Amino acid sequence: MPVVDFHVHMAYYHSYTAGYVEFLMRQRGETPEEVVARYGTPEKVLAFLDESGVDVAVLLAEMSPITTGIIDSDYVAAFCRGSRRLIPFASVNPRTAPDPVKELRRAVTVLGCRGLKLYPTYQMFYPNDPMVYPLYAVCRELGIPVMLHTGSSVFPGSRLKYGDPLFLDDVAVDFPDLTIVMAHCGRPFWYDRAFALARLHRNIYLDVTGLPPQKLPIYFPEFERLAEKWIFGSDWPGVPDIQKNIATIRGLPWSEDTKQKLLYENAARLLRLA
C-alpha cells in the first residue's frame, strides 16, 4: 500500500526563531545545522522517505517570522523540481506579502507549487478574515488545495484563537469548490468541531498530522464514517520517526479500506497523482 505524507517541513530555513531552534533540540537533539547536514538535499530527503516507507511527500514553505522562521516558496519549489515524489506547497503571509495574490499566482503558475499552506496562528489572522479571501479565490481558480494550521502550537508567540476550525465554516460556505485541508484537526480543544465541519462540508478534509496515531480511534470514535476525508501527515522533521506512525496506523482496528484512504487515496485524489 503506497503512502503519501501530506505534511513535511523543510530541514533548511532561511531563518529560524529561537523557539524553533529550541523545539528541534528538544524533539531531535539536533541543531538546525545538524538537521540540514543530514537532510539538506533532495537526494537525502528521498533516501529518508524510502527508509520511512513514504512514496510521495508534500513539502511546505513557511513565511512565519514571528513563531518559527522563513523558508520561501522559491526555495521549496526548486528543491522539489527534480522529483515527481516531492510536491511543493507555497506559503504566502497575507500580513507581510506586498501583493499576496500576485505572489501566490507566481508560486503556482511560474514555480509549480501545487497547494497553499496558511498558518493563521503564526501569521496572525482569522481564516475568515476578508483579507485572506482573494487568496482563496486564486486557489479555487487554479484548482489547488489550501491547507491551514488549526489548533494549538508549542512555538512561542503563536496565538491559538486563530486556530479555531469554526472560522473555516465561513470559508467552506463562501468557496464551496475550494478544497480545504484542516491540519492537526483543531488539536486539542476542537476535535469535535473539526470532525463536525468535515462531515458537514463536502470540501473540508482532516489532516491527522501531529496527533498520536494510537489515539485517533479515541479522539474520533466515528473515524470510519468519514473515511474519504482523512489525510496522513507527519510534521517531520519536528516529528522524527515517520515509519513508526505509519506502522501504528496500519495496526489500528479499522478496515484496510479506511487505512488505505487515510495513508494514500484521499491525498492522491487531492494532489491529482496519476
User: Per rule CB under 5 A, is residue 72 in the interface with Zn ion?
Assistant: no
Shortest distance, CB of residue 7 to Zn ion, whole angstroms?
A: 5
**Which lies closer to Zn ion via its Cβ, residue 62 or residue 258?**
62
**Which lies closer to Zn ion via its Cβ, residue 164 or residue 235?**
235
Q: Which of residues 138-177 bind Zn ion (CB under 5 A)?
A: none
Give the CA dihedral 120, 124, 129, 130, nearest 10 degrees. Answer: -110
**Which lies closer to Zn ion via its Cβ, residue 167 or residue 236?**
236
From residue 83, give the alpha-carbon distance in Å to each of 58, 172, 202, 229.
12, 32, 31, 27
**Residue number with the shortest CB distance to Zn ion?**
235
**Which lies closer to Zn ion via its Cβ, residue 153 or residue 179?**
153
Shortest distance, CB of residue 62 to Zn ion, whole angstroms?
A: 8
Q: Which of residues 179-238 bind Zn ion (CB under 5 A)?
A: 235
Task: Classify strands 15-16 and 86-91 as parallel, antiparallel or unpaired.
Answer: unpaired
Shortest distance, CB of residue 120 to Zn ion, whole angstroms?
A: 13
Shortest distance, CB of residue 158 to Zn ion, whole angstroms?
A: 12
d(CA 142, CA 137): 9
- Helix axis angle for 73-80 and 100-109, nearest 10°, is 10
Q: Which residue has the cell 482496528?
A: 253
**Which lies closer to Zn ion via its Cβ, residue 5 or residue 235?**
235
Shortest distance, CB of residue 53 to Zn ion, whole angstroms?
A: 20
Shortest distance, CB of residue 235 to Zn ion, whole angstroms?
A: 5
Measured in degrees and rounded to the nearest 5, phi and psi for residue 35 equal -65, -40
From residue 132, give the alpha-carbon distance in Å to each of 154, 212, 242.
24, 31, 32
Q: Which of residues 85-144 bind Zn ion (CB under 5 A)?
A: none
Count of residues engaged in binding Zn ion, rule: CB under 5 A? 1
**Which lies closer to Zn ion via its Cβ, residue 100 or residue 151?**
151
What's the grid cell of residue 144?
Answer: 489547488
Q: Which of residues 229-268 bind Zn ion (CB under 5 A)?
A: 235
**Which lies closer to Zn ion via its Cβ, residue 94 or residue 151?**
151
In this structure, the chain runs to a length of 274
Shortest distance, CB of residue 253 to Zn ion, whole angstroms?
A: 27
Contact status, residue 107 vs residue 73, Cβ threshold 8 Å: yes
Alpha helix ranges (H) inside 110-190: 120-123, 133-142, 167-174
Complete DSSP assignment for 175-244: -TTS-EEEEGGGTTT-HHHHHHHHHH-TTEEEE-TTS-GGGHHHH-TTGGGGGGGEE----TTTS--HHH
Summarize as ranges the residues that interact with Zn ion (CB under 5 A): 235
